Every structure is written in C-alpha cells, then in structure tokens.
Structure 1
C-alpha cells in the first residue's frame, strides 16, 4: 500500500503548493487529475500540515512529472487522514499522461501558533506566539539554540543558526507570553517546552527573543529516496532550478546537508545521478569552503549564467543523522507530528 507519509508537493512556490507526488516502491510518481477536486486536495493539505485547500488545479498546472503515474480516479470525501485512505486506482497501468498531473494549492500551515516577524524572511525574526487570539513575544531569559531549533523545525525552516536576544529584530508590542523557555530540542512545537506560566514573565520588550533559521525552503533535494538525498534544486524568481556539477564537490555538498539539517555529506554525485531537471540551471561553478551555513553564501557565477545542460545536474547524498530527531524529520516529520496530534494514522 502507498504510505501515508510519502507525499509531497513539488514545483510550487513553497512546500504547500505544487504538483502532487507520492512515493511507492522507492520512486516518486504523480497523480492523474481524472476526478481530482477540492475534496482530494483538502486531504493532501491536511496530511502535509498545510491548512485548507485553496484550489485543485489539473492539466499539469505545476509542470509535468517524469516518473510513474501512481494514482488516478482519486475519490476522497475530504475527511480522510491521508491520500492513501481515499478510493482510487493504485499503481495499475495508467490511462493518463503527465499532461494530466494533479496539483494542489493550500492556504498554509494551520496548526502553527508561532511566527518570526520583522526579519528578512519568514525564517528569521522576532519570535511571536499566539495565545488568547493575540500575538505576543517571548522573553530571552534562558533563550538558547535548543529553543530556537524547536521554532525552526515547527516553521519548517531547517535548523537554527542563531538565537539572539535583546530585541535583536526590534521591540514587540502587546503581551510577553513566555519566559524562561526550556526546550530539550526534541519537542515538536514551542508550546510543548517547559516555561513559566503564560503571561508571567517579569520582562520588558527590550528582552524579546529572536531566531535565525537556515531556511531550507530555498533549497531542496529531489528524486532521491528520501528528504536528504537527490538532485540539488534552488528557488529563484519563484522557479525551482538545478545546479551544474562544474567544480561540484563534497565541500559544496556539505553545505547543502548542513542547510537542510541532514547531517554530514556522504557523496556529491554529478552527471544527473538523480535524473535531469527540466527548468532553469540557476547556479554554476559553485565553490564553497564547506563551512558556510547556506549554499547562497558560496562563490558562484551570477544567477542563471552557465555553460551546462541538465545532464550535468549536481546531486547530494547526506547521512541524515545529525541526531535521531533530525533523522526522522523532513517529510516524515510532518506525519509524525500529525500522528501525535491525532490527525492521521501515521506509519
């Protein structure tokens, strides 16, 4: 049977929109749009923790897939916990083609009560939590990287790079909801960490806590067997594109693994080891020292300048074992979280 936790949206502007793909027999494949509607999309959005379905585009709205078409004639009620629980034709010879690949656009992550504000991106900024229908800040007393890591994982922003205090991203307003937060670093959300009673802080907004995350939303590995292996793709101008393997080596791959929270590098295969991309080739002649936290910190040609073709697409294989928590995260982490919340059957 198709696994509940092997589902992703690709080629969209974020992880909550894109072409629907499911993993079966260790290979990602698409879903045919025959009968595809908002009820089906609703199940996908809920399974991925992406809120409510906004639309269910067909006709390869997010580009054509290239591997098997694993599902067609999907018929969900909208109440299922996973796409694999819906009625469908599974894994049989398909009567569809990739011009009929199904897509989904979701509203966003609906169960989050934390956000980062006033920073350069959604993955860096002042920490704010939602309590009693009002956003408020977190005091920096005892605030550290373990607390920051929980915030980054909760937001789908990779791993923590920094946990600045003293209102690094400006003073907040309104309540200071949390103080003396004490996470172990293994919690699924900040609300699960130990802290003083809500609203009891003794702090002022000059002590507001902040977080800077690695933000894997601008980087992904695709067409591998898991979240931590595959063809390297980066997001630029709202389009995912590949990286040329000219000068690609383990130092470059090490940065990718670090940015994604995927442990240490095992290999840096080139020559489209994980299949050829089909959009832009965004980066070429990448030259990392191996110590950078983000691939975009490395030297490279200007965006889109290259002398390559997709047969030279770069790949990465990471160990995926920074710690047991990081190892299970990626796509599977969202399923684990939903299993704990009672929203899906898990694996």
Structure 2
C-alpha cells in the first residue's frame, strides 16, 4: 500500500481536509456513516501525521467525487487504510454535509536536545523518518518563536548559530513557518556545518504583544497555561519575568493592556524578591481566586535589553558596532544601516554622528545581520537579527555629547587595597564611592548602579559641583560586586546620559592573626622577659657592690687636732661616729 492511496483536500495543512481514497485509478470520498475513530487513526498514521483531533462531516467542503461504496472496519493498528477489513455497502452517494472531514494533529516532529531543559538546546527535526539538526541562516528570534509555541514552551529568549562538522541538515524556510504551514511542509535537505541553538522560556510567555518583550502574561504549571490576576502580581514579580525572558526592566505593568483573559487564572499570589532567575522559583501563597475581573489580567511591557555597543575606539562612543544575541558579535556593514547610522549614535546616547565607514576585515568572521524590513517595521533589534559570515563590519564615531564620568573609591578605616579595576575593603569598615564629571553643563544627577551575580540596584544623588559621594558605613558581603556611575542631564530638550567604567568591590572578612604576627608577639614577650631578668640581676649586683664599700670604710681619729678644733672638724667627727655606730649595729 502506498501513501498515494489516501489524501486530505482543501485543508489548512497536509494533515487536514476532506478525505478521499484511491482505488482502480479513481478517487472517492468517504461517507461519515462508513468511517469511525479507529479508521481515522489509521489514515492519520498513514499520512505521517499525529493522532486525529477532529472528525466531522462537511468540514472541508461538500463531496464532488464518487462515494466509496464500502464501510471500513479498521482495528486502529493497521499501517494503511486499504489494509483494513471492509464490508460491502449499497451506498453510492452521501447526504449533504456527510462526507468525511478529518483533522490530524501535527506529528511530534521537532525537539530541542542537549540543553538545560526540554525547552532549550539544539533544534532537531524528524522528517522522512530521520532526526537531523535544523538550520537556516536567515532565521531571526521572531521567526523562531513559533517553534517555542509548537513545543508548548514559553516565549523565545535567544537564538544562536553554533559551528559543527559539515553534515546534511534539515533546512526550514522561515517565511513558510511564519505562514503557519506545518514544519514538514517547510523542510528541505541541505549540506551545512552550523546548527541552531534555541532557548525558549520554560514556564512564562507574553501573548498578543507588539514584541517578544510585551503581552498578556501566562504561566505554565501542570502542563497547562494560566493568566495571572493583577492583584497577585507586583513590580518585583515583573522584574523576574522580564529577566527570565531576556528583556530589560519592566516599563509598564497594567491589566487588560493586551486583551482579556481567555485561559484559566493562576490560583496563587506570587511573592518574588526581585532577584530570582525564574518566576516559578519565587515563593507563592495559596489564593481562593479562580477568575479575574474584566481588565484585571496582567499585561506587561518590558524594556528592550541594552544589546548594542561600540568597541575598540577612543571612548564608548567610537569603534566597531557590536550586537548581543546570546553572544557579542560585529554587525555586518550594509548600505541601509550606513544610511541610518545617526540613529545608532542616538540609541547609544552618544549625541550625533561624526563619521561612519565600512571596514574590510582580513578574515571571514561570524557576524550579525540586521534585516532592514524588520527594523523599519518597528520591531526590536534582537527580533531582526540573523547569523552570517562576512568580511565587512562598521566603524562609528559619534560626537560624545557628554564626557565619560569618573569613578573613585576611598576608605577612612579598615583594610583598603587599591587594585587596577577596583578595591578590596575589610568587613564592617566604611568606604565611599565618588562620582564626578568634567564641567560641561550645570546640574544633572549621578546614578550609582550596582550589579552582582544575583542582584542589581541603584542609588541616585543630585550632582553638586559636578560630583556626588555615596557612603557605605559598614561593608558587608552584599556590597561585593561591580559599580558604575551614570551621569544624567536634560539639555537641548532631550535626556542624555554617560556611564563611567566599572569598579569592582571585594569585601574581605576581618583579618585573622597570621603566623608572622604570632611569631612577632612571642619574640616580643621573650625580649621583655630577658630585659626584666637583666634588670633584676643588675639591681642585685649593685646592692652587693654597695655592701662591700660599706665594710671598707676608714675611720679617722680627729682628737689629735686638739680641743680648739674648728666647728667643721667637730661636725665631721660626729658624722664619723654616727657611721661607726650604724656599722656596728648592722654587724
């Protein structure tokens, strides 16, 4: 039996339509009364589709061909419809609306392998019975989003092209997928070495939005998707969702922004701290809520991530244009981007364009290409990026409306050690981070931004004499991370900002006594003991010397001088008599 003996006509895909069976070189429709669920299972299997989802007459137009005259009696396990038993039937026509219309589900023909979950990894497709990696150079994140939907995963987060050995791949035409055709209808075989790595969110998605970073929020739990009620969701929860989707911080959080709720409602109140990497990592409390009032389903808009930069120039506003989509790569030079170069400087808050050129590299390298029709339609940059190999990249020089601020750290006490890119300060000691900028415009403010492996926050102070000082009275491990100063000012009817280099801060525990310190203390004690011993020895020796001198005293007899001796002689004689008496008493 060949698959050429059954077909589905007038459907939206190869797996749906009005059923026709071929016998004796002619096609016949099948009457609904002669066909059941087990027969449908066999047809769907024969066509390489998934199990039947809808079986109903006149779904795909009225019958126009002869009617199959036998009633099928399949067991459901057969590989082809004409392998089934059948009984003769006197039927040669069908009542209107009774010709079999059949919709088979799409086959489980696509998967992500080798990633952290079933929603991340190398994209593989099963076609003609064979699993192969999938590749298409010109796919963007937006065009890959239907794959995430097909896998019942959340929103598309990142798409990367990875080098591999040269092998046959399945190539998917992106415009075909966008038209909602089935994957196998969009597949051709080709010889490639790169492969696609796709990451979808596991359990959150934004629907009906203008970009991948906006829409009505839905959360997946127990294999089903639920909307979230506004009363159970706050700003910190929104920060976690935006981070999980690879977007920037939340900019708008409001009910009914993107349509009314159609899915079941999430029954728990989310209690995120704002630092979690995924929404389902947050704590939650039970709620009796099972429905949302109209207009109260969470609609969320996240800002676009900071995904552009200029590198290799004299400042952050000069150099080669690079874009981040999973990894940083140069942007391929093209005429339409050269014509829009001023927008790049504005996007980077670098004032106006001074100079731009296309530079020819010596080696072919992996680059990002921006699709002009996608960008000009207002889509976010990361949704318009495809992977290419090119020699041509772009060099920009923007006007640097603001000079780069300076960042400096100091400590009044504790252990402080200046390093090339940061400082080390001992625990519980105070330290100050100072921001300053060369005088250009009066006023403005400084924002001190802090990022670490699991959190981010900022402090803001007005600029006083073009500087601001942020005091940390007691250093703790939570202060350890990277700091930068961002200067903000409103001039020429626009907001401008400029960011300093990053400064890393390491907080060390209080210094413990070292071997050298202990050795020094012991030597000091020994020295003190020796000095004390020497003092007492010296004292004892001195007393013995004085004692010997006393025993050697010569006693003079002053009586020979006669009675008429002077008063001085009498005084000396009296003193000598006193010494004799004292000496005798001591003996």
Larger radius of gyration, structure 1 or 2?
2
What is the TM-score of this pair, normalised by structure 2?
0.28
More strand by share: 2
What is the TM-score of this pair, normalised by structure 1?
0.44
